Amino acid sequence: MKNVVIGRYIPGHSFLYHLDPRTKIMALLILMAAAFVVDDIMHLLIGLALVIGVLLIGKISIKRVYLGLRPLMFLLIFTFVFQVLFNRQGPVLYEETLYYSPITIGLVVLTVVFWGFTKKFIRFRLLYFLLMLFTILAILSLIQEPLTFRTGAFVVHEDGLRLAFFIMVRLIIIVTLSTILTITTKPTDLNLGLEQILKPLKLVRINAEEVAMIISISLRYIPTLLDEANKIMLAQASRGVDFEEGKLKEKVVQIVSLLVPMFIISFKRSDELANAMEARSFVPGQPRTRLHVLKWKLNDSIIIVFSLTILITTIMARVLI
């Protein structure tokens, strides 16, 4: 639980920390747009290299960002596998006949069951999962015998593979960029930046200040709530709840025993937060002065120009090539 990096500020010193939050938010949006515009895998990889460059220059440990990506790993792998299996466009890269027979299907089921039982003891679960998929493929394609009642084909199309890889890299870039923003920006600064950027929304009767406040409070409370959840789990474990085991019915009780205190504590917390804010004369919608006023520096302009250059280049690349 402690490894969740998204939304958590980590103190440090580098040029990223000293940028105006507005710059960082705008640069994030621009670069995300660029990542969506790119349609060439080489360009996207260049983008990834640039992102890693930013991490290195910004002295953000790549390990931390990787830890933040880990919860998304399942999603990444899933989209990858899905794309490879079901995308049927473009030239065929690889083709293999699959033989379905009672024996091969039985073996596949055995493999899955074996994987299900042994995955707990394996450290690199993702690799193990891939190994399982590979084994299933091998069984279906290699064992050929008279009982075969149906043959199928495993086809990898170029587009499928490319798109799968593409989506994966794109997701990694986007998540890494947003992680950089939250790691290097204090929630209060983020709030301020968002507020300033969303100010024009006043024209459509949306109060940017409130929206910014809601967003920043939510971000701020993610780690706190995780800590709370951890404490509740310990307290319930003290009363004999074994969160790692149990049948379905017990699981339901376990989750309820975690969620109910979670809700109660969250409501209580928000109540207290509201009181604390009001005690310091916070009135929603009222104009407020700032202790820290954002100052636009040269560095900020450079970053914005740089980001815009990247966006324009990607658009040009797409239009021209």
Partner 1 sequence: MAIKFERVSFQYKGIDNKGYLALSDVNLQIDKEGEFITLIGETGSGKSTLAQHMNALIQPTEGRISLFGLKIDSTTKKKKKIKLNPIRKKVGLVFQFPEYQLFEETVEKDIMFGPKNFGMSTEDAKRKAEEMIEVVGLHKDYLSRSPFNLSGGEKKRVSIAGILAMEPDILILDEPTSGLDPLGRNALLEVFHRIHTTLNKTVIIITHDMNTVYQYAKRVLVMREGVLVYDGDPLKLFSRGNIDKWNLDVPDILSLTRDLETSFNITLSPPPRTRQDLFKALEEALS
Closer residue to partner 1, CB minimum distance, 8 or 157: 8
What kind and span of H or E run contains 98? Answer: strand 92-100
129, 170, 261, 306: which one binds partner 1 (CB under 8 A): 261
Closer residue to partner 1, CB minimum distance, 111 or 236: 236
| 1 makes contact with partner 1 (CB under 8 A) | no
CB of 165 to partner 1, least distance (A): 31
Only segment of 126-134, 258-266, 277-285, 298-306 that touches partner 1 (CB under 8 A): 258-266
Task: Please give the DSSP secondary-structure letter assigned to residue 286.
Answer: -
Listing DSSP states for 147-188 in one string gives: T--EEEEEEEEHHHHHHHHHHHHHHHHHHHHHHHHHHHS-HH
CB of 279 to partner 1, least distance (A): 20
264, 276, 302, 305: which one binds partner 1 (CB under 8 A): 264
139, 232, 304, 311: which one binds partner 1 (CB under 8 A): 232
Task: Please give the DSSP secondary-structure letter assigned to residue 100.
Answer: E
Only segment of 139-147, 184-192, 210-218, 255-263 that touches partner 1 (CB under 8 A): 255-263
Contacts of 71 (CB under 8 A, 6+ apart): 4
| 265 makes contact with partner 1 (CB under 8 A) | yes
The 10 Å CB-count burial string (b at 16+, else e) for 192-203 is bbbbbbbeeeee
Task: Please give the DSSP secondary-structure letter assigned to residue 71.
Answer: G
Between CA 213 and CA 219, with CA 214 as vertex, the angle to 5 degrees is 95
Only segment of 93-101, 152-160, 205-213, 237-245 that touches partner 1 (CB under 8 A): 237-245
d(CA 179, CA 70): 12
27, 34, 175, 241: which one binds partner 1 (CB under 8 A): 241
With tokens 């009767």, the residue in question is 205
- Size of the residue set binding partner 1 (CB under 8 A): 24
3-state secondary structure of 95: strand
3-state secondary structure of 93: strand
Calculated CA dihedral for residues 217, 219, 220, 221, nearest 10 degrees: 90
Q: What residues from 21 to 40 belong to the interface with partner 1 (CB under 8 A)? A: none
| 235 makes contact with partner 1 (CB under 8 A) | yes
Closer residue to partner 1, CB minimum distance, 242 or 278: 242
Task: Please give the DSSP secondary-structure letter assigned to residue 9.
Answer: -
CB of 120 to partner 1, least distance (A): 7
Only segment of 211-219, 261-269, 284-292, 313-321 that touches partner 1 (CB under 8 A): 261-269
| 242 makes contact with partner 1 (CB under 8 A) | yes
| 62 makes contact with partner 1 (CB under 8 A) | no
42, 204, 205, 240: which one binds partner 1 (CB under 8 A): 240
Listing DSSP states for 200-243 in one string gives: GGGGGT--HHHHHHHHHHHHHHHHHHHHHHHHHHHHHHHTT--T
143, 256, 302, 312: which one binds partner 1 (CB under 8 A): 256
Between CA 207 and CA 10, with CA 268 as vertex, the angle to 5 degrees is 70
Closer residue to partner 1, CB minimum distance, 245 or 290: 245
- Give the residues lining the site for partner 1 (CB under 8 A): 2, 8, 10-11, 120, 228, 231-232, 234-242, 256-257, 260-261, 264-265, 268
